[in-house]
Amino acid sequence: MARVKIPIGPQHPALKEPESFRITLSGERIVETDMRLGYNHRGVEKAAEERTYVQDVYLLERVCGICSHSHSTCFAQAVEEIAGLVVPPRAQYIRTLIAELERIHSHLLWLGVAGHEVGFDTLLMYSWRDREVVMDTLASLSGNRVNYGMNTIGGVRRDFTREQLDGLLKVMDVLEERTKYYIEVATQETTLINRLSGVGSLSHEDAVSLGAVGPTGRASSVDRDVRRDDPYAAYKDLSFKVITDTHNDVYGRTLVRVLELMESYKIIRQIVAQIPDGPVTVKAPRKIPAGEAVSRYEAPRGEDVHFVKANGTDKPERVKVRAPTLANLHSVSKMLENNNLADVPITLAAIDPCFSCTDRMIRVREVSGTKSEILSWESLRLFGIGWYLERGVDFSALNARLTRLEKK
Amino acid sequence: MKKPGKMVCEVLKASLKKPATVRYPHVKFEMPKRFRGKLKFYPERCIGCKACMRDCPSNAIKITKVGEKRFEAEIDLDKCIYCAQCVDSCPKAALEATTEYELASTDRRKLKVIFHAKPPEATDAVAPEKDTPEDSV
Amino acid sequence: MAWPLFWITVFPGFLFLCLFAWAMEYVDRKLYAKLQNRIGPPWFQPFADFVKLVSKEEIIPTEANSLMFKLMPVLALTAVLTAFMHIPLWSSKPIISFEGSVIVVVYLLTLPTLAFFLAGWSSSSLYSTIGAVRTLTQLFAYEVPLLLAVLAPALVAHTWSLGKMVEFYGAHPLLTLPNLIGFIVALVALQGKLERVPFDIPEAETEIVGGTFTEYSGRLLGLFRLAIDMEMVVGASLVAAVFLPFGFSLGPVAGFVLYLVKVLFVVFLLALLRTVTARLRIEQMVEFCWKFLAPAALFQILLSLVINRIV
């Protein structure tokens, strides 16, 4: 059959955020995938260099809506390590509590999105209805449904009363019952299993060599979880299981996420029982002394890495964010081989993509061919002006007018 | 054991329960007490240290001095990210986050909210606030 | 007064079918929402959607075959309307009745599917071509079980005319019970013909944007949506007439009310099927239809032949 090149994205109903995947089809079989990233680049890392550390906590929280607490905690941990601050234990427990609540809401969201991608809108409505319980809890605990603003350099900003923490236990009971029902649906509903099994296969060797992290990797038996391997916050005092699965396909990823939900409920119950009393923050200096730190965090999607370099002023010198989706995207072309066009949306959704997290500046070193170069801020600006002038577009008049308007 | 139509019982039971969705905007929805909504400024407590301006991630608040120990605040509702860092930074608790969240507007000018300073005390009969030309006559 | 003109345009023709189709779409969407624990749309939503679509601009792509593009919604609408004329609604005398009307109705219901295919093909856009090919592949899967299931009761009644079938079953009501397997097969195959979940593969929104209807907008899309709603009513009426042939001799008013109840029941079953399943892939659907539906329909035919010998 003749080959057809079909674009999935940048705008497509299957994608919640824009990225471009150009798929070559032969009939309904996928032959080749061509990925182009960068549609959600906002210059977050550059913006972080122009703001103080206190402001940066809020900026980095808005890298992603669903894993916002992950990014702000990871950043705060890196800065606290450079400044040598010791965060009080109650603050660590509160950070862990919000982290697990975020994991619950992210996995429930994923369950709904997966249902929608295979046309099972009922699962979407039911799992998002139960997610509302978590969102209301987060709103009453932290002050907002997303972008919780709990972290500050040196601890957390709010404290919880005993009643609020005990109220959490009732919420966990409700959610546990509902999640058990979803496990039943995921393992017994024939049409759902037909769509999820055998789709998007990634063998264990490929997962290790392509660097799959989080539930995507754990469904291919890659036994890595930062919470257990490199404990941060309060995780060394808590006991939980790391869920791995041997199915190697989308069905395995579903099972890993749903079972991780059950583990999160257990963790939250332990936190409510064990949380120590004490202060929730230490005073942090405005100017962080010079130094570098790398901080890792297990976001709902996988391992999140932040690198912060301080130089003694109140603004960081360099902040680098490596989101988990960037590590998982490399596996997508491998997963899509020999699948049908109908499997593309669910395979993409199974790595739980968050393209807002992903799009940062990366320097690619060519093994052969043209060399890459890095332009400074000023030379990039002049390059842009020259590019447009070559094509006959002159912005100088518009720029002069804008400067005049601003001065008024 | 695989069976098609696993959700039939749950779905039929749910059709008899109250719906989980709400007829917003005909039915108002209240946010919990600690929700970070629109800011409120108490001009009588402000001392003009401008710590809020320094810590604001988006330059949404501006404190200007309009008289002796009297300050007014101008808040840009479209720049504010409702993080309430200014509430934490203020040493005199002059800022507070309310639970108001329906702040959309079709006119950009309405999104600049100015909290005026309180007028001077009425017992200042000896020295009026403004130097009017008649006084010098 | 020219009675046939009244029957075709007003009742039970075009106007009645329009209003009934919108009412049934409302019932279907409201049931879907209630089963998902939501509120659902208000009663005038399908009519409001139609008015909105008709008032929008029509955009016809330059590569598309303009004549076919504009003709296909009209073809689908005409075929569905003509089929409705043959179905006995509340008395055993439909507007048009002759020997062989069962086969003609099933044939006329195939025409909208061909119209969808030609619409997608003449749009010459990438997504609509894939959707068009999927429509035809799906047609090969559900058409045979649907035809066999609808013909089985006709075998027992010794007639190909829908009106005479209804009279026969009115005289021997117990003979509808062995048709139960055929009823279930016809319902599932009808869900495939109407291209609803789990068989909405040709218009899979998350995979191929809009499928056959990707390039359609404005008035033409409004007519297509109306044709799809009417197809649901006609299909449900056919299933109700063939498998639930009760109360056709109760007189016009009681018969009409019973007809509404029967169609509501069939629509409820279709909405329930839509709620509890996920969408299948095209090869899974073809496999399912040929492995399960077609043998079930053949079994029903065998059963009907045996009863035919006995009765």
For the segment C248-304, what is each residue's pLDDT rounded down to a tens digit? 778 888 888 999 999 999 999 999 999 999 999 888 999 999 999 999 999 999 999
Selected for mutation to probe chain B from A130, A144, A147, A190 (highest B CB count within 10 Å) is A144
In a 13 Å sphere around the CA of B77, the CA atoms on its Cβ side amount to 22
Domain map (residue ranges) of chain B: 28-118
> Has residue C1 got a pLDDT over 70?
no
Selected for mutation to probe chain C from B15, B16, B24, B27 (highest C CB count within 10 Å) is B15
Over residues C121-146, mean pLDDT: 90
| 3-class DSSP assignment, residue A205 | helix
CB spacing of C201 vs A342 below 8 angstroms = yes
Model confidence at A291, in pLDDT bands (50, 70, 90)?
Answer: very high
Q: Are the C-beta atoms of residues C163 and C93 closer than 8 Å to each other? A: yes
| Residue A110: how many other CB atoms lie within 10 Å | 22
- Output the pLDDT for position B124: 47
Q: What domain count does chain C have?
A: 1
- Closest residue to C278, CB basis, from A119, A341, A345: A119
- Output the pLDDT for position A338: 85
Q: What is the nearest CA distance from C248 to chain A, expressed in angstroms?
A: 37
Q: Report how far residue A29's alpha carbon sits from residue B45's, in angstroms, rounded to the nearest whole number.
A: 69
CATH of domain B28-118: 3.30.70.3270
Q: Are the C-beta atoms of residues A43 and A37 closer than 8 Å to each other? A: no
Q: Report how far residue B87's alpha carbon sits from residue B91's, in angstroms, rounded to the nearest whole number.
A: 9
Which value does ipTM take for this structure?
A: 0.90
Question: Which residues in chain B have their CB less than 8 angstroms from residue C37's CB?
Answer: 14-15, 17, 19-21
Over residues B34-47, mean pLDDT: 91
- Output the pLDDT for position A245: 92
Q: What is the nearest CA distance from B10 to chain C, expressed in angstroms?
A: 9
Residues 6+ apart with CB under 8 A from A281: A88, A91, A152, A154, A155, A156, A157
Question: Which residues in chain C have their CB less than 8 angstroms from residue B8's CB?
Answer: 272, 276
Taken in order B78, B81, B87, B90, the sign of the CA dihedral is negative
Residues 39-98 of B with CB under 8 A from A: 54-57, 81-85, 88, 97
Domains of chain A: residue spans and CATH: 48-314 (1.10.645.10), 378-407 (no CATH)
Q: Which amino acid is at A204?
A: H
User: Burial code of A145-172, b = ≥16 C-beta within 10 A, e = fewer?
Assistant: bbbbbbbbbbbbbbebeeeebeebeebb
% pLDDT > 90, chain B: 45
Question: Which residues in chain B have their CB less than 8 angstroms from residue A56's CB?
Answer: 57
| Residue C92: how many other CB atoms lie within 10 Å | 21
> Is A340 an interface residue toward B (CB < 8 Å)?
no
CB spacing of C207 vs A14 below 8 angstroms = yes
Structural domain range at position C157: 46-310
- Closest residue to B1, CB basis, from A123, A140, A188: A188
Is C156 among the domain residues?
yes
CB spacing of C35 vs B6 below 8 angstroms = no
Backbone angles phi, psi at A407, to 5 degrees: -70, -20
Residue/partner pairs of C60-64 with CB below 8 Å, 24 or more apart = C60/C215, C61/C123, C61/C124, C61/C125, C61/C215, C63/C124, C63/C125, C64/C122, C64/C123, C64/C124, C64/C125, C64/C215
CB spacing of A58 vs B1 below 8 angstroms = no
Is C15 among the domain residues?
no
Residues 266-285 of C with CB under 8 A from B: 272-273, 275-277
Is C174 among the domain residues?
yes
- Output the pLDDT for position A368: 63
- Of residues A372 and B132, more confidence is placed in A372
User: What pTM did the predictor assign?
Assistant: 0.90
To the nearest whole number, what is the mean pLDDT of chain B?
84
